[in-house]
Structure 1
Amino acid sequence: MYLPRRTSRAAAALRPGRVRIAAAALVSAAAVVALTGCSGFEYTENICGSDEYPVLSVGSTGSSCVSDKEEPPAGSARFPEGKVPKEVDDKWDVYWATHTLDKDGNIIDVPAAG
């Protein structure tokens, strides 16, 4: 009479079907981490370097950075107090995309291109 050998637990754990399921689960977990794992880390880019400040082109939406040791060049002005953009796409960077200063320093809507 032939009695089949018992399969050990270790051998049962390595059955091809279980290996495929475990591999699929690991691949799925890696994909989730790759797609969403870095979403908590937001990259922000400063408008200017550490020894510079931003200036606005009078009458247009252009801007540039000037050394802290210099005054704004002709045709440029400092942003109004409290309305200085610090990072790309922050509240004030977006605001100044549609607004500018006139020659008297008043905030105006950007003139339509024509």
Structure 2
Amino acid sequence: MSRRTNRPAASFRPAGARLVAAAFTGAVALVALTGCAGMEYREAICSGGEYPVLSVGGTGSACVPDKEQPPAGFARYPEGKVPQQVDDKWDVYWNTHTVDEDGNTIDAPDAG
């Protein structure tokens, strides 16, 4: 009479399955160690269907629905100088600059 040993199911996996599992584990470790380099998330200034506007004479801003004009006290950013993402080139620039009532770019009075 032969004795049968109960082995865990994992010992019966084909060699290919073990290689796939090892490769997957390695890929997960690589992503964890590199912090998903190259997959940087940047927050948009406004949501879809909106555009950013700048406070006239100050550094405040707001988002306005695409089909509406800027509210009183706000103006559209000058063409080519519209911030798209938080801390992008133009978002940083407009922290120390603004527009006057004539639409001229000036140093912001509160840029201190």
> Do the two structures share a fold, i.e. TM-score over 0.5?
yes
Tell me by how many angstroms 1:100 deviates.
Answer: 0.3
Gaps of 5+ in 2: 1-24
Question: Residue 104 of structure 1: CA displacement?
Answer: 1.2
Hey, what's the Cα distance between the residues in 2 that align with 1:113 and 1:41? Answer: 33
Task: Tell me how far apart the structure 2 counterparts of residues 53 and 67 of structure 1 sit (CA, whole Å).
Answer: 6
State the distance in 2 between where 1:106 and 1:48 align. 23
Output the amino acid matched with 1:40: G
Shifted more, 59-68 versus 103-112: the winner is: 103-112
User: Normalising to structure 2: TM-score of the pair?
Assistant: 0.69
* Distance in 1 separating the partners of 2:53 and 2:74: 6
- Determine helix, strand or coil for the equivalent of 2:92: helix
Does the 8 A contact of 2:51 with 2:63 survive in 1?
yes
Q: Does 1:67 align with 2:65?
A: yes
Q: Measure, in 1, the Cα distance between the counterparts of 2:97 and 2:34.
A: 36
TM-fit CA distance, 1:50:
1.2
With the length of structure 1 as denominator, give the TM-score of the two structures. 0.68
Letter in 1 for 2:79: E
1:109 has 2:107 as partner: yes
Q: Shift of the alpha carbon at 1:35?
A: 3.9
Query: 1:6 is matched with which residue?
Result: none
Q: Flag structure 1 segments of 5+ consecutive residues without an equivalent.
A: 1-25
State which structure, 1 or 2, has the greater radius of gyration over its C-alpha atoms: 1
Runs of 4+ in 1 over 2 A off after TM superposition: 32-35
CA RMSD of aligned residues (A): 2.3
- CA deviation map 1:31-67 (0-9, x unaligned): x642424122100111111100000000111000000
Query: Partner residue of 2:95?
Result: 97
Aligned sequence identity (%): 72
| Distance in 1 between residues matched to 2:45 and 2:111, nearest whole Å | 25
